[in-house]
Amino acid sequence: MGFQHVKMPEQGDKIRVQNGRLVVTDQPILGFIEGDGIGVDITPACMKVWNAAIEKAYGGKRKVHWAELYLGEKAAGIYDGNYFPEETMDAIKDLTVAIKGPLTTPVGEGFRSLNVSLRQTLDLYACVRPVKWYQGVPSPLKSPQDVNAVIFRENTEDVYAGLEYASGTEENKKLARFLREEMGADFFEDAGIGIKPISAFGSKRLVRKAIQYAIDNNRSSVTLVHKGNIMKFTEGAFRKWGYEVAAEEFGDVTITEDELWEKYDGKQPEGKIVIKDRIADIMFQLMLLRPAEFDVLATMNLNGDYLSDSLAAEVGGMGIAPGANMADNVAVFEATHGTAPKYAGQDKVNPSSLMFSGCMMFDYIGWPEVSKLIEDAFEKVVGEKVVTYDFARQIEGANKVSTSGFADALVDAINKA
């Protein structure tokens, strides 16, 4: 496949998909998008850490060949003002796996969000956000070590689908008239109207991916998070469809919470994953009071947005929260925070969100030794109170370092491992 501005490395192999599985050689080509704002600081720092960990883990036998791709402000400068070039979408599909820094959504450019557009264009239907505590990281919880959950957030439906009609517009008036006259609905005049689509197809493929993750990673439970007690035909249907896919496609390895107590007296049998469900608002309380009871969470778009950010605050905040947006095979890993333009170019911020997203990426391509080295180095460095400014203001006696200084400390710890 030929590209106008994307330059593929001269060496390396593109990841292939065979029988639904990734085929990754020892010399894969991975795409990266630098990102806007602080992307100029955190992406080079992470590259240094990732490459050092690869070298340490495999002694030169494995190497990533990086291909730079373009979205956001950097793309606009290259593609004549186009923040969202089609070539980049083609390149991500061609490479299968990529990672990106934070992106700015241009005002008045026709995009609700570059990130949302990316997810919808590539049908990256699952936003995956692991949340766990690392030794030494400041936390508001008494027992942050109990938090170790992975959130699967449906990415393409719910209120994020963009089906909104502004108050006063002709489209709004037409829809409001139909709802009142044809459907018997009753709501205030001049209300903005949004439509919340939740489908069996979208719900089942999200829950299917969550259950398969639980199987592949020896997780003990999958909890369906919903507000089905109120929104019975959308969020309630998500719950119903989630249980259906568990029973119909994973019945040999899953049991419901009711079955756990009725058949097994509450003692989980070996090799079985418990499928639970919880009301969304209660889930926030439970993840504060009894987080150890929950493992993998599967939920819809808006609930997942709230939950993933809230849970990140329990274990150190968005500055270290990793994430990915995935289709069946194509995956784009990302920093989960914003561009923080007031800090751009200052070599100041914590690069760990993007760095740990890279750890997710290496696990995804079957290189777990890389992520293990990075996580161990992170705990060692933070344990020595060598941290960026965000943690330094919370840790007494901290040695505050720059973005690049933190990366250098991690590389040093990796090399000494």
- What CATH number corresponds to the domain at position 357? 3.40.718.10
pLDDT exceeds cutoff 80 at 413: yes
**In contact, 54 and 68? CB cutoff 8 Å:** no
> How many domains does the chain fold into?
3
> Does 256 reside within a domain?
yes
Distance CA 299, CA 276 (A): 12
Is there a binding annotation on residue 129? yes
Residue with token string 């689908």: 161
110 marked among binding-site residues: no
- Look up 348 and say whether it is catalytic: no
Task: Choose, from 79, 83, 134, 160, the residue flagged as catalytic.
Answer: 160
* Whether residue 101 sits in one domain with residue 24: yes
Residue 146 pLDDT > 80, yes or no?
yes
Answer yes or no: is 104 a known binding residue. yes
Is residue 210 located within the same domain as residue 167? no
Active-site position among 158, 305, 390, 408 = 305
The pLDDT tens digits for 374-400 are 999 999 999 999 999 999 999 999 999
The verdict on whether residue 342 carries a ligand-binding annotation is yes
Check 26, 190, 258, 281 and give the catalytic one: 281
Residues 278 and 356 occupy one common structural domain: no
Examine the domain organization and report whether 305 and 364 are in the same domain.
Answer: no
Q: In sequence order, what E strands does 170-269 have?
A: 193-194, 221-226, 254-256
> Mean of the per-residue pLDDT values for the chain?
95
Residue 111 is predicted with a pLDDT of 59
Residues 149 and 287 in one domain: yes
Give the pTM: 0.94
pLDDT over threshold 70, residue 108:
no
Is residue 417 scored above 80 in pLDDT?
yes
What does the pLDDT look like over 236-295, one tens digit per residue? 999 999 999 999 999 999 999 999 999 999 999 999 999 999 999 999 999 999 999 999
What is the mean pLDDT of the segment spanning 299-312? 95
The residue range of the domain holding 347 is 1-125+322-417
Q: Is the pLDDT of residue 2 over 90?
A: no
Q: 343 a known binding residue? A: yes
- For CA atoms 297, 303, 309, 314, give the dihedral sign: negative
281 in catalytic set: yes
> How confident is the model over 132-158, as a mean pLDDT?
95
Binning pLDDT at 50, 70 and 90, where does residue 38 land? very high
Residue type, 212: Q
Choose the catalytic residue: 132, 227, 348, 380: 227
Same domain flag for 298 and 337: no
Span 235-250, pLDDT tens digits: 999 999 999 999 999 9
Distance CA 113, CA 280 (A): 25
Rounded to whole angstroms, how far apart are CA atoms 151 and 308?
7
Alpha carbon distance 194, 172 (integer Å): 10
